């Protein structure tokens, strides 16, 4: 059996239709003598590792470009502070 879950996400509603941005596929082939519960567990892990859930949460609400830059700046500041403390 071959289970596949297409993932389609959009930036938002524009003129009554969703703008398709990208498609990510997670495919799972159920192994011989593998229960459905085990296959579902493996599927969940694949989805999590592929970053689909993280991407969905990130795109759930619109983020202004200034907020994106602010988050990136704060992330860089934390990184430099951590490197300075570790002596890297």
Assigned domain for 46 exists: yes
Assigned domain for 26 exists: yes
Judge if pTM exceeds 0.75.
no
Assigned domain for 41 exists: yes
The DSSP annotation for 10-63 comes to EEEEETTEEEEEEEEEEEEEPPTT--HHHHHHHHHHHHHHHTHHHHHHHTSS--
Assigned domain for 67 exists: no
Q: Above 90 in pLDDT, residue 81?
A: yes
Could you read off the pLDDT of 9-66 as tens digits, one per residue? 444 444 444 444 566 778 889 999 999 999 999 999 999 999 888 888 888 999 999 9
Domain count of the chain? Answer: 1
- Residue 28 belongs to domain spanning: 2-62
pLDDT at 18: 42
Assigned domain for 52 exists: yes
């Amino acid at each position: 059996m071959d289970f596949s879950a297409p993932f389609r996400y959009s930036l938002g509603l524009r003129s009554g239709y969703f703008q398709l941005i990208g498609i990510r596929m997670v495919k799972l082939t159920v192994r011989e003598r593998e229960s459905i519960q085990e296959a579902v567990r493996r599927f969940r892990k694949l989805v999590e590792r592929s970053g689909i859930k993280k991407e969905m949460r990130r795109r759930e609400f619109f983020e202004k470009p200034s907020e994106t830059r602010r988050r990136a700046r704060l992330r860089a500041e934390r990184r430099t502070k951590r490197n300075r403390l570790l002596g890297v």
